[in-house]
Amino acid sequence: MTREERQVMIDQHLTEDELKEHRERFGREIIVCPVCGKYTLDYFHFCANCGYDNDPYDTPEEVGLYRKWWFFHRGRSFAVADIHGCYDKYRHLLETIGFSDNDILYVLGDVIDRGPDGIRILEDMIARPNIFCLRGNHEQNALIFLREYGFDEPGEMADRLKGQFRAWLSPANGGRETYEAFRKLDETTKRLILEYLNAMPVYRRLEVGGQRFFLAHTVPEKEKMEHPETCSFQTFLFGKPEFDKQYYEKTVIVTGHTPTSLIDSESTGRIWKGNNHVAIDCGAVYGNRLGCVCLDTMEEYYAE
């Protein structure tokens, strides 16, 4: 075993068998992350230790800014999901948790649609380097339709997508609020928001206080999650979790997408926990509270 292989086992808490399987099955190379300096398996240029998306097109200045922030981060880590345009609840939540520049907030998708202020929330998140947003099914839909219909000139696929576009605008999907707010923006801001949506990953692995987490908007069935790297992109946007099954022994899954009232009626309006799974979509856009969990302590926070 090489020094690099031994170190990546330590840094990623892998057994020798797990390392061997990953290298043989998926052909992952061992790299040194340019931000945290730890050895990691190259998950599509993503560092499993610090979360840096190692884009080969990043400039040295961009890498340096992330490195500086990473090493000076001494705050808490939070997760929230399915804000759905509820700007007042979002801002109240930040006040409730005392969110500071040293903290990290992971937003597990569905920031937009249904509620009136999804674009406003996105603009706020873009301005905060310590908020990381994962992609939900509503961000995916918005990315497609805003590209085609959000500018004065329709996109190349506009004629083919008319039916799906109308469905997105319907009350059932709630895209009209997002679309109308986007159309009012200047072109530079529109491009910035589309770049932000396009850069959102579908899941993130991290470790907080010695506890491993898997964050995603949603996840598929347990069998498919044995090797999430092989799952299709769509499974983390529309998957149906098996909440009655424990997926991992040492990793806690945190998801949104499914309102907790549909998991257990007694969990309506509050976070659901069970089987090493934390579901945090409390149905804020339907009149319930916006829920948030602190990953350091597993303490729950709510905003009306």
- Beta bridge partner(s), residue 206: 213
> Rounded to an integer, what distance in angstroms lies between the CA atom of residue 182 and that of residue 111?
14
> Rounded to an integer, what distance in angstroms lies between the CA atom of residue 247 and that of residue 277?
8
CA 87 to chain centre: 18
- Model confidence, pTM: 0.78
On the question of pLDDT at 69 being above 60, the answer is no
Whole-number pLDDT of residue 44 = 41
Helix (H, G, I), strand (E, B) or coil at 208: strand
Each residue of 109-130: pLDDT tens digit? 999 999 999 999 999 999 888 8
Residue 137, phi-psi category: left (phi > 0), alpha (psi -120 to 50), beta (remainder): alpha
Structure tokens at 188: 């530079």
What's 74-304's CATH class? Answer: alpha beta
Non-local CB neighbours of 83 within 8 Å, separated by 6+ positions: 89, 90, 107, 110, 111, 115, 118, 121, 284, 285, 290
Q: Work out the pLDDT band at 45, boundaries 50, 70, 90.
A: very low
Q: Work out the pLDDT band at 43, boundaries 50, 70, 90.
A: very low
Structure tokens at 54: 């190692």
> Rounded to an integer, what distance in angstroms lies between the CA atom of residue 145 and that of residue 272?
33
- Beta bridge partner(s), residue 33: none
Each residue of 219-243: pLDDT tens digit? 999 999 988 878 888 999 999 999 9
Q: Work out the pLDDT band at 11, boundaries 50, 70, 90.
A: low
- Determine which of 28-32, 65-69, 122-126 has the lowest per-residue pLDDT on average: 65-69
Reference 40, options 67, 66, 58, 13; nearest CA is 13
On the question of pLDDT at 49 being above 70, the answer is no
> Rounded to an integer, what distance in angstroms lies between the CA atom of residue 63 and that of residue 177?
36
Each residue of 268-282: pLDDT tens digit? 999 999 999 999 999
Cα-Cα-Cα-Cα dihedral sign, residues 258, 236, 100, 118: negative
Beta strands in the chain (DSSP E): 30-32, 39-41, 77-80, 104-107, 131-133, 203-208, 211-216, 251-255, 272-274, 277-279, 290-294, 300-303
Q: Residue type at 277?
A: H
Q: Where in the chain is the domain with CATH 3.60.21.10?
A: 74-304
For the chain, what is the mean pLDDT?
85
- Determine which of 22-31, 77-86, 252-261 has the lowest per-residue pLDDT on average: 22-31
